[in-house]
Homo-oligomer: A and B are copies of this chain.
Amino acid sequence: MTNAHKQNSMALFRDKCRQHNLSITPQRTVIYQELVKSKNHPDSEDIYRTIKNIFPEISLDTVYRTLAKFAEIGLIHLVEGYGEAKRYDPDTNNHHHFRCSECNKIVDFHDDSFDNLKVPKAFQKSFKVVNVKIILEGTCDECIKKL
């Protein structure tokens, strides 16, 4: 996160909380601060461990609840782990996936422009990229009808 973003982040935090009628508690404040400082896309345990030092009475499930809530209101993003079970695909040919956020259905699709993406040069130099995974997220045709 850039410095400009860091400076504004606490204001963003307060605005977002007010918008969604969330109380601004010391726990939430500290959790958000730690998250903004972090560089490694932490999980709840990571945040909990860090905060314990400066806020010993905080509980792990508050961290879980708070991070989930932050993600729900769009203050932060969930980048790994969806709480879902592992799901498998017997088709190993090149294709991509759409996942419906409502019913968790996964639909395959093929698209040339998605297949031919060039990995950024900065990565090719020092990283070995084996796979490019693309997931479209949204609402599927059936769920649109239901809503």
Contact = CB atoms under 8 A, between A and B. Distances in A.
Contacts of A36: 90
Contact of A131 (B92, B113, B137): B137
Contact of A77 (B42, B89, B130): B89
The DSSP consensus for interface residues of chain A is: mixed
Given A86-B82, A89-B76, A139 B130 contact: yes
A70 B88 CA distance: 10
14 contacts: A32-B90, A35-B90, A43-B88, A44-B85, A81-B86, A82-B86, A107-B127, A109-B123, A114-B117, A128-B139, A128-B144, A130-B139, A132-B134, A133-B136
